[in-house]
Structure 1
């Protein structure tokens, strides 16, 4: 059975919609305009100093995940290696999934001293934090102390991290393709003889949800994800629409088949209205909980066993991973074609805080997680013989109830340096190959920068934060609510933001020969 850690996008899509969340791209400036825009160009620059020449330091790292009972024992072994190699020790603060965003906002707003933090397009928002000045640029640090990172992460992906021509997040190398799936309670699928492969668009779920409603007292048909703006495509239409700014609430989009990349408001699109009508219909028929808009911990709800259908990462091995997560048989089908955009590439990164007193040592630590497989595997899997046992040189088997099984090997270093899990239906090499075969967004390497319209940007996002949960849970009537929200968005400055995003895309296209 596939271990949870190989689900990769599983945790990355907490809060994703049925048709997934729009992910964005990178800065409007040319990726060739400065020397720092090509990190590998100077990868041979000075290496880190010898441990004996370094003063001892303690590094603080905030990550998202489930706190592990046996973490102290693992950290003791990790710090032995760090002390020997870079004369440092690490204090790892693991914050639970549902609390990570809020806690990191407080930590950032109060200028707390820390060194490293997980950041992404979906949690502890990368673009917003960079624009707020929370992180230090990493171009020079990568060249001097991150040579193993630059050697192992293909150069083509670094453009996705750049904002105003600079890198602020060190990439964790994992599957960059985005695959979203619908998870079904397998027992209910079999009981009602439902063909999960027949689902190509949201409304195809309706007959199954009706059977669950009629035949399963106490069970809810669908668990809606109420946060980011939903992607407006499905298995019937394919990959058609991408966002101009990350996996966020920001509503500006392009059609990927439009060579002019004309920016439009996704809220005003027919696709958005049609999708929201489906959710409203489900809500009115009782397929969605009446209090769904108030649910806060999507991951906990998905594990509760109270739902027939919910969402998670799709792709190879997703059914096995979902079964392991839920503790009962589940089956996953892809709800959209797999694709790569900037939001997918920046879905898992590590930033160095502007408050860090030891940014050089922090980068040395990140590089060690690429060069030292023992260190990486300790953090990912725990202690051999205590938390897992090796099956062969490349495969491991987790020890049940060992006290350490974080399932977050995608959160740091190079995931392809890890062990494969015994019984996994896919290999790491197969997953890696999907990076090369998935469709690629024409906006890869672009991320809209709202710096010149900060007030309008903040107002639009505030309205979207109010609107999306209400609509995606079916709580409000879209035919009444969407026109009202569009009016508010325009008054808040959405048209100015649209024009500004279009100009930035046009400049980026010209600078990069698009």
Structure 2
């Protein structure tokens, strides 16, 4: 899944000047040795500081878009200072078809020094092409954080991510994952309906007990506020269906609201039992509930028609300019736009879980990581590339990525980290603060989960999860909403009323590679789904939708969906 983790974090740089004096035994004290610009002492007989090594790195999409290239924010400058590396970074947001570009680079051998791998399907092709640098010989000197802090990821990668297309595995380490662990914000859960609370209030707080209840309410909201502050048309909900993960709302969000997740495209895994049930062929699965809901929104005229041609960046632009009345994650950019526009009474609130079940997935726990990286065998600087990956995968690296630079963004006070007031003000008042400061700008490069314990401070690695900051992050609208519902935090409407948990993806990740027969069926199914799932949303009548749904299910059964589902069901039972 593309975990789209929300952004309101911080980072910056710390400057330390060290002056060394040299005194001879029994002799006059000499003049202090001058320091180089990098802070390295330079005197007679010493070499000047080496110029920084330049590395190119492709990356997963970040929660805020920025142009590719060398970045000059304080966080990146701190990385350069610590590692003597200048990083030319290429976010997936700026690439277009990431999978196609990666496949072309792999075929030509023209990969960046460190490459983000867009899908697990590429692992075998990478190994067969011998495109990745074996990391084993570098770990002792340049990868001690990897060895000591994530040994389970190393073991898993060697066993499951080092196999070529013929099934051969040499047991070496080629691929490592950033992200993962767990990352649930105490303020709000990762995915739930985030609604324009002020408009809901104007309508007299109509009931919203099911997702279908939202549909007429969103229609009325569009009538209350048909355009945004720029005069552009508002819609109840939107999508980014043209992107590779455009099905996230109905493949992931609708499942999270039922305490379920999907395995590939074929099965539904319950968060408690880890039992697998069909995803595509069960007409009542959450996949079909999501598709049906979006079709109803389309027929009601509340689904943005641009959804079928938009990618994530286009969607995010509309979200941040307050043209969507409902989103699935926190609309921080839109909230800040309202505040800066002088209308702080407008804003969004994360609503209660819209179902009568007692289960809810608040976050995905991925102790094996989420975003895969490899180092190209053609890199001219393998040691520095390993050193950078090692730093990003460490507690220290994650601390820097998500919180900023000690002494610039935060200080240690009485043994605990405390953010500077200008950082808190910047996050609250400046929509571009994260881009300029670097604070959580590179969220998907962080090696560890945000809420695992930082061994230095014995608190969550993301300092904003400390109690004194959680309530401080609430907007005026959120404060009004929690008072209306009688809770302390918006997330309490789910975590205090439902049976909830982090969904551990380890079981689903530990089945063997599918057989060639299963892979062939999977490819045919994936192509069919990609071509047809969004067509279902654009059907104009309920009768037509019912007819096409039956044909869709019959076609995937004909293509072998039941056979693939049974294979995964059996293998996951063994993996448990």
Give, in angstroms, the shift of residue 324 of structure 1: 4.1
Structure 1: 5+ residue stretches without partners: 1-6, 12-51, 313-317
- C-alpha distance after superposition, 1:104-131 (max 9, x if no partner): 4543454323222345xxxx22x12213
Q: Would you say 1:492 and 2:559 are equivalent positions? A: yes
State yes or no: 1:425 paired with 2:473: no
Quick one: distance in 2 between partners of 1:382 and 1:341?
A: 24
CA contact (8 A) 2:152 2:368 kept: no
Q: Name 1:478's counterpart in structure 2.
A: 545
Which residue is 2:477 aligned to?
Answer: none
Shift of 1:464: 1.0
What is aligned with 2:296? Answer: 281
Match of 1:450 among 492, 496, 514: 514
Say whether 1:330 aligns with 2:348. Answer: yes
Structure 1 CA distance, aligned partners of 2:379 and 2:441?
A: 27
What residue in structure 1 maps to residue 58 of structure 2? 62
Aligned-pair CA distance for 1:463: 1.0
* Equivalences for residues 210-359 of structure 1 within 5 A: 210-217=219-226, 218-224=233-239, 226=241, 227-228=246-247, 230-231=250-251, 238-239=258-259, 241-245=260-264, 250-255=265-270, 261-262=275-276, 264-271=278-285, 272-296=287-311, 297-312=314-329, 318=330, 323-324=335-336, 329-333=347-351, 335=353, 337-339=360-362, 346-353=369-376, 355-356=378-379, 358-359=381-382
**Superposed displacement of residue 321, structure 1:** 7.6
Go from structure 1 to structure 2 and tell me whether the alpha carbon gap of 1:9 and 1:426 turns closer, same or farther (over 3 Å shift).
farther
With 279-288 and 138-147 compared, the bigger mean Cα shift is at 138-147
CA offset at residue 334 of structure 1?
6.0
**For residue 170 of structure 1, what is the aligned residue in structure 2?**
177
Structure whose alpha-carbon radius of gyration is higher:
2
**CA displacement at 1:291 relative to structure 2:** 4.2
1:465 Cα offset (Å): 0.8
SS of 1:61's equivalent in the other structure is strand
Greater relative CO, 1 or 2 (CA 8 Å, sep 6+): 1
The farther-off stretch of 351-360 and 275-284 is 351-360
TM-score when normalising by structure 2: 0.61
What 5-or-longer segments of structure 2 have no aligned partner? 8-47, 163-170, 227-232, 340-345, 354-358, 451-459, 474-488
Equivalence for 2:124: 131
**Structure 1 residue 98, shift from structure 2 partner:** 7.3
Q: Evaluate the alpha carbon distance shift between residue 485 and residue 437 of structure 1 in structure 2; reply closer, same or farther with a 3 A threshold.
A: closer
What value does the CA root-mean-square deviation take over the aligned residues? 4.7
- 2:203 is matched with which residue: 182, 192, 197? 192
List per-residue Cα deviations over 1:33-85 (Å, max 9, x = no partner).
xxxxxxxxxxxxxxxxxxx9x998543211233226992364455323213xx
How many aligned positions are there? 435
Partners of 2:178 and 2:372 within 8 A in 1: yes
The alpha-carbon distance between structure 1 residues 417 and 141, as it changes in their structure 2 partners (threshold 3 A), is farther
Which sits farther off after the overlay, 198-207 or 141-150? 141-150
Give the CA deviation at 1:438. Answer: 2.9
Alpha-carbon distance in structure 1 between the residues aligned to 2:90 and 2:190: 29
